[in-house]
Structures are given as structure tokens and as C-alpha cells.
């Protein structure tokens, strides 16, 4: 078990290095740097001026060197221009003597965001916390719903309950967040269409709309009105997949010998499901749920954009859209780490939960 | 003129889709009559879920085919005074030959929502299946040897596949589908006075588009190498057609000037293929691992068949069931991915009528004018739902064997 975890962690670190290098390479392509020079310096810079701006800030070095500096395993060069020292370690208000040699990700220095004018690590920490709340509520809604649907459908395979629940699960996997989000807003958050005008007319709701179509206020204060729609849009797309996995796993367990034995012994169906089948049927969905988290990341970006919730996904869009290279790199590192760590946990968890698959 | 009532809108929409209804009726009647002879396809008509899925998919396929007849206006045509008008609004200043209404209303640039939805189906139904097919070619050509040979081939290829899979899709799109990346690279002069930029999407296209040709070449060589005459004809044909399509699609420099791909479109296409192929690779690898332990594979090995013959002519045909099911699901997933790209305004031009871009355009005024975003959203959902139900029906029926 120990060696297995160690090997998996090693592969994970290697993957993380490769992926961050790819992201680094792609964000540091020359057209991106040129755009950066023009937005940071002057829009009307000539090609020579752009070139010297980039040289002065060390952007024209070899990409491997730059990656090493960004990572913090190589010293950042100090380039002196007109008595000023340019290095990636320098910050506004910090005297030149205090600037260190190594200032990369390993030293906790993710760089400086050009769009939000702040430390990338601070921005990401703040935005990640907001997205954390979103994810928390999504998981609270999604996981129990999916498990209940899956178990109810899988305990009597081929029954009418199974068929209707399975069709529902399929329908949710066909509804990406940007579709369900649009439908939800039209149905529940528009003062002109859907349910809200009817409910308002009947006097059931005080406000013009049932829910809010924007979640920007949820950053300070999460309420039922402003957080329901984004959470539902995200949860709905994920429910179907987990439910189908649970159903398959449950259906398989229900045909096992020991279930038949229990049934022949006269154990009630309720007890068979709850006491005998459930525990074994939940091993497979565990991995699926863990692997769902990185998958939710795309959904988070869509939902946060659609509902204007200024979390991690929204930051990604802002960073990518405004060519904020350092911020985009920071966001990518976090995203890649989330994916890799959940993969690791799901691998280890699967082995840990399933005594039949102890690692050979 | 009075605006149409809801019932009239439904009626007129139904009339516009008449070619589709006729086509669906004919195909369904023929399929049900011959269902005992058409194998897995025929069995689909024994499962209600499969039939519903097939009907939805068929509806959109026929819509894409007959799009020109169904559309009431041109996809980019604007009419003054029709901005954000509700469904069923009569067209202001319509002349004799024009269709008199905007059936599903107008969008924020006064274009007909109904016609754009129909035009969008054509774009989606060309890109999504084609991209999925390419992803399958790549996945199969790499997945079979990884599963069959195992060892170092498998380790390297699986590591690469996991690398791509660990990339959050949306991040990959933001890195890969930008105007900057299309410009990053050296310009190279190629044949016919064309130039080619060594940008990442172009290089990826040059690599990925080789796989279908490679696949067909190995396919024919491994089977017909004992009959040189037939083999030579097949290989020459593949090479000729392949080289022609390759020069057109990958380099946008078709010597005949027939095939070509807009750089935007190529960028999207390549990204979607790139995202999908590792998953296909994993599925094919798993199937190859499973099937190679069967007796008929051992029999072929004893007969002295080559490894590629066994992979392509023994293992692959026996893996077709799960692959067909996944193909359907994957077209749906690709449609969703294309919609995601459109939703973020990446890739296709903003005035493109594809569903993702129209949803993105329409969502800005969603609470005031829901129809420009709602219509393409429902279209996308119904098509993906159809594909998912079709896949489910196919799975159920193929498991019954």
C-alpha cells in the first residue's frame, strides 16, 4: 500500500510538472508577450520598443530558463535599466536591496496580476474560497440526489421506476450548464416569463421574481434567492452520470450470490437493500464522485460566467480574456492540482474501500 | 398584420418542417419493415427509448440536410424594426416573396431566430460527427497497439493520454483556441503559392489528420498483403484521396481548390479532436486488453497472423458494440463542447448561427427577451438527448445478444 501511494504520487508530480510546463509555454508565446508589452507599456509601441521592453524584463530568455525561474529552482536575473532593477521578484514599494534571487512558485510567489493589480496568490485564495462555497452546496445537493436515484433505479432492474429514473438521468446528462442555466433563468428569474409573474400575480411571492438571475450578491451573502439557480444548474448536469454509475453498481450487486442467499433466508427486501447491498454498491460511485470534481470545474466556469458569480471560474475567464499571464498560470496550477489530487484520492480510496483489490 | 397566436406559430413551424416529417416517415417505415434483416440497427426498433432517440437524431439530421428549404430567412439577414421582437411578429416591410413572419421572433440584431436555429443545426451536425470520427481514428490507431502489445508502448501512450485527460477542458480551450496562438509561429512557403504558419493548432492538425490515412493504410496492408494487386489498388487509392484531403484540410492548400478549412474552424476542430481522443484511446485500450485473451485471437496467433491483422481484423470488429455506443454518446458530448466554445465566444465568428454562439449572444438580455437564447438551448438539448437515448437503446439491444 505504501509503495503504491508513493508511486502514484511520483507519477502525479511528473504529470504536474509536464502540465504546468505546457501551460507556461502556451501562455508565454510571443504574440501573448507582445500583447502584454502593449497593454502594460504603451499601445503605440513600435516593434523595437516592444522588443526592448521584453528584453528588459527577461521575457526573451529561453523558455526552459523562464520556466525554472517561474518554478523557483533557478535564480531570476536582475536586469538593470536606467538605474532601475527589473526582476520578477520586484514589487511596488519594496527597495531593491531586499529583492531575493529566487522567487518562483516553490517560494510561494505566483507573480503579480496585471488585471486585478495584486498578488496572484491572494486573488486566487479569495476567489477559490467563493468557489468552495458553490462546490459545497453543489455536492450537498448532487451527491444524495444521485445516490438515491441510482439506488432506487438499480434495486429492481428493468422495473418501471428504473426506466423512468434512468430516462431522467439520461436527460440530465444531455443538459449542459449553459442550457439548464438559460432555462432556469427564463422559468424562475424573469419578471416577464415563466413562473414568477404568475406567482407574483397570485400574491405567493413578494418580489417580482422567484429567484435571482444573477449571483453577484452571493459573494458577500449567500441566500436562497441568489444561490439556488447556479447550484441547481451545476448539480443537474452531474447528477445523471453519478446516478447511472450507482445504478449499474447496485444492479450488479443485486444479482450477487449473497443477496440471493439473504432473500432465500427470508430477509425483507428493505433490509436486503439497506443492510446487505448498499455498502458494496457504493464503492464504485465513490470514485465517480471524486472524479466528478475536476469535471465540475468546466461547469463552474460556465455557471460563474452565466450568473456573474466572481469565483475561481470567473477569474479564469478574466485572466484568459485579458491576457493576464501570471494569473492564468496561477489559476492553471490550481486547476491542474485539483484534478491530479482528486485522481490520486479516488485511486487510493478505491483500493482502500475495496478489500478485494489490494494492490499486487 | 396581426401577430400570430401560439397555435398558429406551431402550425407554421410544422409546415416549414414538412420535408423533415416526410423523410422521417419514409425512413421509419422502411426501417420497421426490414427490421429483421438489419441486425443491431433493426433491433433498435424494438426498444421504445432507442426509437425516441433515433427519431430525435433523425429529426436534426434531416433538418440539417433540408436546411435551405426550411429556413424562412437567411441566417445573417437583418430586418429593420425586428429587433428582439416576440415570436410570431409579422415582418415589417415584407414584400410579396418574403416569408411574412419571424416565427420564433428576432434576436438583438433583428435576425430571425428560427432560421438561425435551423442554420445552426447544419454547422453542429457537420463538425460534431466529423470531429468524433477523427477522435475515434486517433484513439483506435493508438489504443489497439497499447492494449495489445502492452509494455513500454502502453506506458508511454497511457502517460500521454492521462496528461491530456488531467488538463481541465476549459483551460485547454482557452489556451488552444485564441487568435494569438494562431499567429504564433513561422510562416513557411508551401506548394501552389500558399503559406503555412507553424502554430500549435496547425501542427496538431498536421499530426492528427495523418491518423485516418495511417489507419486505412494499415487496415488494407495487414489484410491484403497476400494479394498484391488488390492491395496496391487500395493503397494507391487511399494515398491519393488521403493526400488530397490532407493538403486541403491540414494545410488549407488543396491543389484542386475544392477543400479548405477556415483557420478558426480548423482551430476548433483540432481542439475538440484533441480533447476527445485520449478518452477513446482509453476505451479502445481496455477493450483490446479484454478481447486479446479470447480463443479466436489465440487461434489467429497460432495461424501466424501478424499483430496488426489481429488488432484490426480480429479485435476491432469484436469491439464494435461498445464503440458504436460510445460513438453516439461522444457526438453528443462533442456537441456540448462546441456549445461551450461558442458560449465563451471562442473560435467561431460571433455572427455564426451555431447554437453555442447564439446562446452566448442571447444570454445578455435573457430576463427581458428569453427567446433568442432559449430556442438554440432547447435545440442543443434535444439533439444531445436524442443521441444519449439512442446510445442507451443500442447498448440495451446489443447486451441482449
- Reported as a single tens digit per residue, the pLDDT across B119-152 is 999 989 999 999 999 999 999 999 999 999 988 9
Residue B131: CB atoms within 10 A of its CB come to 26
**Strands B89-90 and B101-102: what pairing?**
antiparallel
DSSP 3-state of B253: coil
List the Cα angle A75/A76/A80 in 5-degree steps.
130
pLDDT value for A40: 78
Q: How far apart are the first and last CA of chain B?
A: 60
Q: Where are the alpha helices (DSSP H) in B190-319?
A: 200-208, 210-224, 228-249, 263-291, 295-303, 307-309, 316-318
Nearest chain A alpha carbon to B390: A170
Using CB atoms, pick whichever of A173, A192, A328 lies closest to residue B388: A173
Mean pLDDT of B67-92: 81
- Subunit contact B356:A340, Cβ cutoff 8 A: no
Nearest chain B alpha carbon to A315: B171
Question: Does pLDDT of B6 surpass 90?
Answer: no
pLDDT (tens place) for every residue of chain A, 360 residues total: 778 888 888 988 999 999 999 989 988 888 888 888 888 777 777 888 888 888 777 788 888 888 888 888 887 777 777 666 777 666 666 666 666 777 778 887 888 888 888 888 899 999 999 999 999 999 999 999 999 999 999 888 888 999 999 999 999 999 999 999 999 988 888 877 777 778 877 877 777 777 877 777 777 778 888 888 999 999 999 898 899 889 988 988 888 899 999 989 999 988 888 888 888 888 878 877 887 777 788 889 999 999 999 999 999 999 988 888 889 999 998 988 888 888 888 888 777 777 666 544
Return the H-helix or E-strand segment holding B389: helix B371-399
Q: Comparing A10-14, A135-139, B106-110, B162-166, which segment has the lowest mean pLDDT? A: B106-110
Q: Which residues face B78 on adjacent strands?
A: B111
List the Cα angle A218/A331/A233 in 5-degree steps.
40
Q: Would an 8 Å CB–CB cutoff place A99 in contact with chain B?
A: no
- The string of DSSP letters for B287-343 reads HHHHHTTSHHHHHHHHHT--HHHIIIIIIHHHTHHHHHHHHHHHHHHHHHHHHHHHH
Q: Would an 8 Å CB–CB cutoff place A182 in contact with chain B?
A: yes
Return the H-helix or E-strand segment holding B184: none
- Subunit contact A27:B175, Cβ cutoff 8 A: yes
Q: Which of B247, B355, B161 is nearest to A178 (CA)?
A: B355
* Residue showing cell 427486501: A269
pLDDT value for B146: 93
How far apart, in whole angstroms, are the C-alpha atoms of residue B366 and residue A181? 10
Using a CB-CB cut-off of 8 Å, the residues of chain A touching B170 are 297-298, 301-302, 313, 316
* Residue showing cell 421572433: B105
Question: Does pLDDT of B350 surpass 80?
Answer: no
- The string of DSSP letters for B114-164 reads HHHHHHHHHHHHHHHHHHHHHHHHHHHHHHHHHHHH-HHHHHHHHHHHHHH
Q: Where are the alpha helices (DSSP H) in chain A?
A: 2-27, 30-40, 47-56, 63-71, 120-155, 160-173, 177-188, 195-202, 224-254, 257-264, 269-271, 278-281, 283-307, 312-321, 325-353
pLDDT value for A58: 77
pLDDT in tens, B48-76: 889 999 999 999 999 999 988 888 888 78
Question: Does pLDDT of B199 surpass 50?
Answer: yes
Q: Would an 8 Å CB–CB cutoff place A216 in contact with chain B?
A: no
Q: Which residues face A119 on adjacent strands?
A: A112
pLDDT value for A360: 47
Inter-chain Cβ pairs, chain A and chain B, closer than 8 A: 135
pLDDT value for A357: 61
Residue A84: CB atoms within 10 A of its CB come to 10
How far apart, in whole angstroms, are the C-alpha atoms of residue A251 and residue A245? 10
B104 φ/ψ angles, rounded to the nearest 5 degrees? -105, 25
Highest mean pLDDT among A44-48, B43-47, B97-101, B249-253: B43-47
DSSP 3-state of B35: coil
How far apart, in whole angstroms, are the C-alpha atoms of residue A331 and residue A123? 10
pLDDT in tens, B11-35: 888 888 999 999 999 999 999 888 8
Q: Is B3 exposed, middle or buried (0-12, 13-18, 19+ CB in 10 A)?
A: middle
How far apart, in whole angstroms, are the C-alpha atoms of residue A138 and residue B323? 32
Handedness of CA B247, B249, B250, B252 (dihedral sign): positive
Question: Does pLDDT of B244 surpass 60?
Answer: yes
Nearest chain B alpha carbon to A305: B344
* Residue showing cell 474501500: A353
Return the H-helix or E-strand segment holding B13: helix B6-16
Q: What contacts B298, CB < 8 A, 6 or more positions away?
A: none
Q: Comparing A151-155, A268-272, B93-97, B294-298, which segment has the lowest mean pLDDT? A: B93-97
pLDDT value for A97: 65
For A105, A113, A114, B137, B177, the CA distances from A321, given in Å and listed in that order, are 23, 13, 12, 33, 12
Mean pLDDT of B383-399: 90
Using a CB-CB cut-off of 8 Å, the residues of chain B touching A179 are 339, 359, 377-378, 380-381
Cell numbers linked to B143: 489504443
Q: Which residues face B197 on adjacent strands?
A: B187
How far apart, in whole angstroms, are the C-alpha atoms of residue A142 and residue B306? 49
Amino acid at each position: 500500500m505504501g509503495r503504491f501511494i508513493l508511486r502514484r504520487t511520483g507519477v502525479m508530480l511528473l504529470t504536474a510538472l509536464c502540465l504546468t510546463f505546457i501551460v507556461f509555454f502556451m501562455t508565454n508565446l510571443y504574440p501573448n508577450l507582445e500583447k502584454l508589452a502593449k497593454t502594460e507599456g504603451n499601445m503605440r509601441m513600435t516593434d523595437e520598443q516592444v522588443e526592448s521592453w521584453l528584453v528588459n524584463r527577461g521575457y526573451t530568455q529561453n523558455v526552459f530558463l523562464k520556466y525554472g525561474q517561474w518554478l523557483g529552482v533557478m535564480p531570476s536575473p536582475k536586469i538593470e535599466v536606467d538605474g532601475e532593477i527589473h526582476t520578477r521578484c520586484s514589487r511596488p514599494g519594496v527597495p531593491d536591496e531586499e529583492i531575493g534571487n529566487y522567487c518562483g512558485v516553490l517560494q510561494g510567489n505566483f507573480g503579480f496580476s496585471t488585471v486585478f493589480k495584486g498578488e496572484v496568490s491572494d486573488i486566487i485564495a479569495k476567489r477559490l474560497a467563493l468557489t468552495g462555497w458553490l462546490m459545497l452546496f453543489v455536492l450537498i445537493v448532487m451527491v444524495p440526489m444521485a445516490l438515491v436515484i441510482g439506488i432506487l433505479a438499480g434495486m429492481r432492474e428493468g422495473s418501471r421506476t428504473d426506466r423512468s429514473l434512468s430516462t431522467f438521468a439520461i436527460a440530465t446528462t444531455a443538459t449542459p450548464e449553459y442550457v439548464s442555466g438559460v432555462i432556469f433563468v427564463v422559468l424562475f428569474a424573469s419578471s416577464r416569463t415563466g413562473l414568477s409573474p404568475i406567482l407574483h400575480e397570485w400574491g405567493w411571492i413578494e418580489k417580482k421574481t422567484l429567484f435571482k438571475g444573477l449571483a453577484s450578491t452571493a459573494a458577500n451573502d449567500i441566500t436562497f434567492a441568489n444561490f439556488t439557480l447556479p447550484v441547481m444548474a451545476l448539480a443537474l448536469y452531474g447528477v445523471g452520470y453519478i446516478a447511472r454509475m450507482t445504478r449499474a453498481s447496485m444492479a450488479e450487486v443485486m444479482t450477487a450470490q449473497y443477496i440471493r442467499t439473504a432473500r432465500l433466508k427470508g430477509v425483507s427486501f428493505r433490509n436486503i437493500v439497506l443492510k446487505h447491498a448498499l455498502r458494496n454498491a457504493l464503492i464504485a460511485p465513490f470514485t465517480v464522485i471524486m472524479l466528478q470534481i475536476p469535471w465540475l470545474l468546466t461547469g463552474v466556469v460556465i455557471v460563474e460566467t452565466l450568473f456573474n458569480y466572481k469565483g475561481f471560474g470567473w477569474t479564469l475567464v478574466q485572466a484568459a480574456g485579458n491576457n493576464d499571464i501570471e494569473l492564468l498560470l496561477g489559476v492553471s496550477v490550481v486547476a491542474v492540482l485539483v484534478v491530479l489530487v482528486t485522481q490520486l484520492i479516488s485511486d487510493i480510496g478505491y483500493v482502500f474501500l475495496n478489500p478485494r483489490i489490494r494492490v499486487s | 398584420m396581426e401577430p400570430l397566436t401560439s397555435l398558429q406559430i406551431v402550425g407554421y413551424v410544422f409546415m416549414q418542417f414538412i420535408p423533415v416529417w416526410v423523410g422521417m416517415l419514409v425512413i421509419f417505415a422502411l426501417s420497421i419493415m426490414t427490421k429483421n434483416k438489419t441486425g443491431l440497427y433493426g433491433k433498435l426498433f424494438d426498444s421504445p427509448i432507442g426509437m425516441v432517440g433515433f427519431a430525435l437524431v433523425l429529426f436534426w439530421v434531416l433538418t440539417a440536410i433540408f436546411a435551405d428549404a426550411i429556413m424562412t430567412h437567411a441566417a445573417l439577414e437583418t430586418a429593420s424594426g425586428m429587433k428582439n421582437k416576440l415570436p410570431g411578429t409579422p415582418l415589417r416591410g415584407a414584400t410579396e416573396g418574403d416569408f411574412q413572419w419571424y416565427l420564433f421572433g428576432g434576436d438583438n440584431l433583428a435576425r430571425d431566430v428560427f432560421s438561425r436555429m435551423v442554420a445552426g443545426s447544419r454547422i453542429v451536425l457537420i463538425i460534431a460527427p466529423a470531429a468524433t470520427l477523427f477522435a475515434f481514428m486517433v484513439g483506435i490507431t493508438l489504443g489497439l497497439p497499447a492494449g495489445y502489445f502492452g509494455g513500454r508502448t502502453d506506458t508511454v501512450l497511457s502517460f500521454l493520454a492521462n496528461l491530456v485527460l488531467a488538463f481541465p477542458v476549459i483551460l485547454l480551450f482557452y489556451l488552444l483556441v485564441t487568435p494569438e496562438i494562431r499567429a504564433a509561429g513561422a510562416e513557411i512557403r508551401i506548394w501552389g503559392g500558399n503559406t503555412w504558419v507553424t502554430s500549435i493548432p496547425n501542427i496538431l492538425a498536421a499530426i492528427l489528420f495523418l491518423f485516418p490515412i495511417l489507419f486505412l493504410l494499415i487496415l488494407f496492408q495487414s489484410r491484403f498483403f497476400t494479394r498484391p494487386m488488390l492491395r496496391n489498388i487500395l493503397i494507391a487509392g487511399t494515398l491519393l484521396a488521403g493526400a488530397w484531403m490532407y493538403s486541403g484540410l491540414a494545410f488549407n492548400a488543396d491543389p484542386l481548390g475544392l477543400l479548405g478549412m477556415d483557420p478558426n474552424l480548423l482551430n476548433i476542430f483540432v481542439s475538440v479532436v484533441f480533447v476527445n481522443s485520449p478518452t477513446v484511446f482509453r476505451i479502445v485500450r481496455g477493450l483490446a486488453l479484454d478481447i486479446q485473451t479470447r480463443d479466436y485471437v489465440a487461434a489467429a496467433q497460432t495461424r501466424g497472423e501478424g499483430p496488426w491483422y489481429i488488432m484490426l481484423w480480429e479485435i476491432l470488429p469484436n469491439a464494435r458494440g461498445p464503440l458504436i455506443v460510445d460513438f453516439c454518446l461522444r457526438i453528443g458530448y462533442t456537441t456540448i463542447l462546441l456549445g461551450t466554445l461558442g458560449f465563451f465566444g471562442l473560435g467561431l465568428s460571433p455572427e455564426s448561427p451555431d447554437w453555442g454562439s447564439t446562446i452566448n449572444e442571447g444570454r445578455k438580455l435573457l430576463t427581458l427577451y428569453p427567446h433568442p437564447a432559449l430556442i438554440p438551448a432547447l435545440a442543443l438539448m434535444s439533439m444531445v438527448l436524442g443521441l444519449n437515448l439512442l446510445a442507451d437503446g443500442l447498448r440495451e439491444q446489443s447486451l441482449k445478444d
